C-alpha cells in the first residue's frame, strides 16, 4: 500500500510541476482547451498564490511529504497529510467552479490523485 501511495505522490509531484510551469509561463498553456478548460487562466488568477507562494509549489511540497511519510510507514501521518491535501484541493476546486468558472486540467488530475491517496491511506490505517 505504501508503495502505491508513494507512486501516486510522484505522479502528484509531476502534475504539480506542470502546473507550476504554467504559473510562471507567459506562453499559451498546453491545456488551454476551450473557454471552460484553461490552465493558464486558473494558474494566473489571484487564487494561484498564497502569500506569494504558488499553489502548485505547495502541491509539490505536499505530495513530497506524503511520499516520504508513506515510504517511512507513517500511516497516521500519511492520512493526516492526505486529508489536509484533500481539503485544500476541494477548496481550490470550489474556486474553479464558483469563482473563476474555468477548470484546470492539471488541477483536476491532481484532485483525482489526492482523492485516491486519501482513500488508500484510510484503507491503510483501517487495515492496520
Selection from 13, 23, 101, 98 nearest residue 55 by Cα: 23
- What are 2-49's pLDDT values in tens digits? 999 999 999 999 999 999 999 898 776 677 778 888 888 898 899 999
DSSP string, the chain: -HHHHHHHHHHHHHHHHHHHHHHH--SPPTT--SSSB-HHHHHTSGGGEETTEEHHHHHHHHHHHHHHHHHTT-HHHHHHHHHHHHHHHHHHHHHIIIII--B-HHHHHHHHHHHHHHHHHHHHHHH-
Task: List beta partners, residue 53.
Answer: 50
Give the model's pLDDT for residue 94.
96
pTM summary value: 0.92
Give the model's pLDDT for residue 17.
96
Amino acid at each position: 500500500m505504501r508503495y502505491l501511495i508513494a507512486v501516486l505522490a510522484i505522479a502528484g509531484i509531476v502534475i504539480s510541476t506542470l502546473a507550476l510551469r504554467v504559473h510562471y509561463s507567459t506562453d499559451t498553456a498546453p491545456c488551454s482547451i476551450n473557454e471552460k478548460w484553461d490552465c493558464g487562466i486558473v494558474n494566473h488568477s489571484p487564487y494561484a498564490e498564497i502569500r506569494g507562494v504558488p499553489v502548485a509549489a505547495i502541491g509539490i511540497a505536499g505530495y513530497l511529504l506524503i511520499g516520504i511519510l508513506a515510504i517511512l510507514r507513517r500511516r497516521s501521518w500519511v492520512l493526516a497529510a492526505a486529508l489536509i491535501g484533500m481539503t485544500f484541493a476541494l477548496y481550490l476546486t470550489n474556486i474553479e467552479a464558483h469563482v473563476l468558472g474555468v477548470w484546470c486540467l492539471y488541477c483536476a488530475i491532481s484532485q483525482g490523485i489526492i482523492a485516491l491517496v486519501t482513500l488508500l491511506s484510510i484503507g491503510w490505517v483501517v487495515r492496520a
